[in-house]
Amino acid sequence: MSYSRTAVALLLVTVALALQVTLLSRLPLPGATPDLVLLVVVGLALSHGPGFGLVLGFGAGLASDLVPPADHEIGRWAFVLTLVGYLAGAARDETRRSAFVPLAVVAGAGAGSVLLYAGLGALMDDTHVTWAAVTRLLPTAVLYDVVLSAFAIPAILALVRRTEPDGIVR
């Protein structure tokens, strides 16, 4: 794990988190909030592989658990994004076969993260998590993440290519 990779990841996660709570969650969109942090984890995991993805996912998740106005048990996003980072990283080699693979990974990560986060809440009798709330969030979460990924993922990959010219294709 090189320093430049870590620096880029830190920068992207910080910017994504700041945009997420101050801008994206304020957009008058029905249902879910476009999850930029998730896209950063997916994007970097797709280019650096499962090992990097899971560590990044854990870090980004822990940050999401801590950044105000977070008000849930610390560790919930960390658990979810660790898994997302690992699985997205595992799909790295598939991305060369088809351009639709990143899209499918983003859609899967969007749906999976909502379900897993809600599932963890349900285990702890979280009064917020109701079946109605989950089904209302799920379609919009996937839709927004996929739409946003069309801009975010190429931008992230371009940044990776610029910072490490021989990094993306191993």
Contact residues for other proteins (CB under 8 A)? 14, 17-26, 28, 30-33, 35, 50-51, 54-55, 58, 61, 65-76, 78-79, 82-83, 86, 113-114, 117-118, 120-121, 124, 126-129, 133, 136-137, 141
Nearer to other proteins, 101 or 129 (CB): 129
- Ramachandran quadrant class, 75 (left: phi over 0; alpha: psi -120 to 50; beta: rest): left
Q: From the CB of 138, what's the least distance to other proteins, in Å?
A: 10
Q: From the CB of 135, what's the least distance to other proteins, in Å?
A: 12
Nearer to other proteins, 70 or 161 (CB): 70
Nearer to other proteins, 115 or 161 (CB): 115
Nearer to other proteins, 8 or 55 (CB): 55
Q: From the CB of 66, what's the least distance to other proteins, in Å?
A: 4
- Ramachandran quadrant class, 36 (left: phi over 0; alpha: psi -120 to 50; beta: rest): alpha
Q: From the CB of 157, what's the least distance to other proteins, in Å?
A: 22
Whether 43 and 152 have beta carbons less than 8 Å apart is answered as yes
Can you spell out the DSSP letters for 23-76? TGGGS--SSS---HHHHHHHHHHHHH-HHHHHHHHHHHHHHHHHSTT--S-TTH
Token output for 125: 């009798």
